[in-house]
């Protein structure tokens, strides 16, 4: 079985200059957890996932103190709402993961799973000639497992 056999298609994408507010709206509208980010030619340059919107707690350098970090900045809990308001204008290019781990349509399911584990991601864009054509999510792997039992 290949990636093209289980991928969700078409891939919904956003451009590098798309604001995070538009990214969030698109994710909610399409009920998806990631959006490949493409350049003017439609080639994938990165990916934005739901977790990019979440508060992340990291250690303060050279300390055991942990504090919330969002979009690469340190914040107190009181400052987070203000940051989310301002973040609506941030461009996808500013928070996307780059490069995005991708597979071709003919990649084996084993290769897809290996990449998911290697990069600790839940979704892998499927590309044709560098352009996203679908997404394989862990959810798709679960559907495949159930379908094979029936």
Instruction: List the CATH number of the domain containing 36.
Output: 3.10.580.10
pLDDT exceeds 90 at position 63 = no
Q: Which strands, in side-by-side order, build the sheet including 56-59?
A: 56-59, 66-70, 73-74
pLDDT of residue 46: 96
The total domain count for the chain is 1
Q: What is the mean pLDDT of residues 39-65?
A: 72
User: Distance between CA atoms of 93 and 119, rounded to whole angstroms?
Assistant: 20
**Best mean pLDDT range from 11-25, 40-54, 132-146:** 11-25
- pLDDT range class, residue 16, cuts 50, 70, 90: very high
- Residue 15, exposed/middle/buried by CB under 10 A (0-12, 13-18, 19+)? middle
pLDDT at 6 over 80: yes
Q: Domain of residue 93: give its range.
A: 3-149
pTM: 0.78
């Amino acid at each position: 079985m290949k990636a093209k056999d289980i991928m969700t298609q078409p891939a919904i994408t956003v451009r590098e200059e798309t604001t995070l507010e538009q990214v969030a709206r698109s994710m909610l509208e399409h009920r998806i957890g990631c959006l490949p980010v493409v350049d003017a030619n439609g080639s994938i340059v990165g990916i934005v996932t739901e977790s990019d919107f979440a508060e992340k707690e990291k250690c303060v350098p050279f300390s055991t103190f942990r504090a919330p970090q969002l979009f690469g900045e340190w914040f107190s809990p009181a400052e987070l709402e203000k940051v989310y308001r301002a973040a609506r204008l941030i461009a996808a290019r500013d928070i996307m993961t780059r490069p995005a781990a991708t597979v071709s349509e003919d990649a084996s399911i084993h290769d897809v799973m290996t990449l998911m584990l290697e990069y600790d991601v839940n979704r892998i864009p499927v590309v044709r000639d560098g352009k996203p054509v679908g997404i394989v999510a862990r959810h798709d792997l679960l559907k495949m497992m159930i379908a094979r039992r029936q």
